[in-house]
Amino acid sequence: MFAVYYGVHPTRLLKNLASTRELDIVYNNVKGKVELAAYTDSNLDDRRSVSGSMIMISEAPVILKSKYQRTVALHSEEREYMALRLCTQEVLWKRAMIKDMGHEQLGATQVWKDNQDAIGLATNAGYNART
C-alpha cells in the first residue's frame, strides 16, 4: 500500500535494486580525519511539504532521511528553511555522536542548500516578517 501510494510498484522497486547490485557505498578508512557534509532540500507533495536530507562522512552517506513537515508552509522559502532546520538538527546530533566516539570534527560542517532565500534567512540574524 505504501509503495503504491507513492506510484512505485513493489516489483519494479525490486527489479531496480537487483539491477544495481554492483553499485556499492564505499566507506574509506581515513585515519583521524572526520569530515561531515550535509545536503538538504524540500519538495511540495500535496498540501504538506516533504523535507529531505543526506549526511555524509568522508564522502559516503550515513544518514538519508525524508519526513513530512509538521507545519504547512505558505512560501517556498519557509518550507526550505524548515528542511534546513531539520538537517541542522541531524548534523548537530551526528557531530555529538562522533565526538563521543573520540573523532571530533574540527571546524564547521558544510550544509548544502539550493534555495537562496532560505540561505539568506538562516544567515541573517535580523528581523524578517515571515519568521
- Taking only the tens place, the pLDDT of each residue in 2-40 is 334 445 566 776 777 778 777 777 777 666 677 888 998
88 burial type by CB count under 10 A (0-12 exposed, 13-18 middle, 19+ buried): middle
Q: Which residues contact 121 (CB under 8 A, 6 or more apart)?
A: 77, 81, 128, 130, 131
Strand order in the sheet with 60-68: 60-68, 49-57, 36-44, 110-112
Q: Which of 53-62, 82-91, 93-102, 122-131 has the lowest mean pLDDT?
A: 122-131
Residue 64: closest CA among 80, 45, 51:
51
Mean pLDDT across 93-122: 81
- Please tell me the distance from the alpha carbon of residue 108 to that of residue 60, in angstroms, as a whole number: 18
pLDDT at residue 7 in the model: 53
The residue among 126 and 25 whose pLDDT is bigger is 25
Instruction: Enumerate domains of the chain plus CATH numbers.
Output: 28-123 (3.10.20)
pLDDT at residue 1 in the model: 34
> In the structure, what pLDDT confidence band is assigned to residue 76 with cuts at 50, 70 and 90?
confident
**Residues 64, 92, 62, CA angle at the centre, nearest 5°?**
25
pLDDT at residue 92 in the model: 92
pLDDT at residue 108 in the model: 87
- Please tell me the distance from the alpha carbon of residue 17 to that of residue 93, in angstroms, as a whole number: 30
**φ, ψ for residue 60 (rounded to 5)?**
-125, 135
Query: Rounded mean pLDDT of the chain?
Result: 76
